[in-house]
Structure 1
Amino acid sequence: MGAYRHVLAAIGPAGAAAVGTAACEPGTGGLSTMVVSCTTDTTGTRALERAGVDERWLSCTSTLNSTTTASPSPPSVATVDCEGETGDGTEITLTGKVTQEVGGRCVRGDLTAKAGTRTAFRADVLGDCAAPVRPPAGTPPPDTAHPAPRSPSP
């Protein structure tokens, strides 16, 4: 994932272990620039592949738009800017606005991808918002072979 690579480059190898599993974890509450970037990178890569674009790499960044009113709620729109390259060196761009990110599974908004001068796709949803929720990275699977012990009956 492009945004993940940028985080690792910025913090260096020593900090990578500490951030690696949490950098692209879904957030709670409003939009997060890191989560929007990571989810757009992942879902955008899959969408580009489905559109027949031979993506070599893609790297996404995002910024949160500030609200104009004094409100405790988080901003509701993130501007996303992704750049990349195809296998033959053609420039890829994926840009737009994200209004919702759903647990690392999808982003909603208005997004356009181009490979060179060709529009690869325009979408209001990237990913599968109805996909099952994935547990956070590093979470062991549930132990179904050995149920929890029960207290003896009196």
Structure 2
Amino acid sequence: MVACEPGTTLSTATITYTTDQLVTQELERRKVEVRWLSCTADFGDRATPSPSASESTVADVDCQGQTNDGKDITVTGKVTRAVNGACVRGDLTAKIDGKQRFQVTGLGDCDATTAPPLAPPGGGAGPTTTVTVTRTVYCQNDPQCWPEGK
């Protein structure tokens, strides 16, 4: 799934998932053991991101988390581009216990044609997908069947 091709819109789900994944990877690359990190994205006053590829789409990002040794992690900034699981572009600042750990204009590979694997090399838990199927069964000839024969 690619979220930044011309003609498509940038979604908060793509931004939050990708920012969470790539910031965690960057912190761990910098020898910070991340216990957890959770991100949110907001398009501000707009109900939806701009629909045109020629317009700037900017989402405010806010992440909160904690290191394995109990220090607070905060990541704030603006994201202008995200490719699901592969890259984010914009301006992001990560702090640990209030001290800046990094400031970047992008993370990951925006030229990637596919997202990286969900599970880390060597195994480990990754995100899961739940599918709910709803079936309507008609039973009009059964007097016990309610409501309206369904």
Q: Please say whether Structure 1 and Structure 2 have the same fold, judged by a TM-score greater than 0.5.
A: yes
Select which of 72, 86, 108 maps to 1:91. Answer: 72
Separation (CA, whole Å) in 2 of partners of 1:110 and 1:85: 21
Instruction: Classify 1:134/1:50 alpha carbon distance in 2 versus 1 (closer, same or farther; 3 Å).
Output: closer
TM-score by length of 1: 0.63
Query: Residue by residue, what CA displacement relative to the aligned partner does 1:16-74 show, whole Å, maximum 9, x if unpaired?
Result: xxxxxxxxx5546121011100000001100111122111000000001346xxx7538
Query: How many aligned residue pairs are there?
Result: 111
Residue 51 of structure 1 is matched in structure 2 by 30
Name the larger-Rg structure: 2
1:100 correspondence with 2:87: no
Aligned-pair distance for 1:130?
Answer: 2.6
Moved over 3 A (4+): 25-28, 71-75
The unaligned stretches of length 5 or more in structure 2 are: 119-127, 129-150
TM-score by length of 2: 0.64
Aligned-pair distance for 1:110?
Answer: 0.3
The unaligned stretches of length 5 or more in structure 1 are: 1-24, 139-154
1:45 match: secondary structure: helix
Residue 33 of structure 1 is matched in structure 2 by 12
Q: Which has more helix, going by share of residues?
A: 1
Identity within the alignment, %? 49
Separation (CA, whole Å) in 2 of partners of 1:72 and 1:36: 16
Separation (CA, whole Å) in 1 of partners of 2:56 and 2:110: 21
Query: 1:125-136 residue pairs with structure 2 within 5 A?
Result: 125-134=106-115
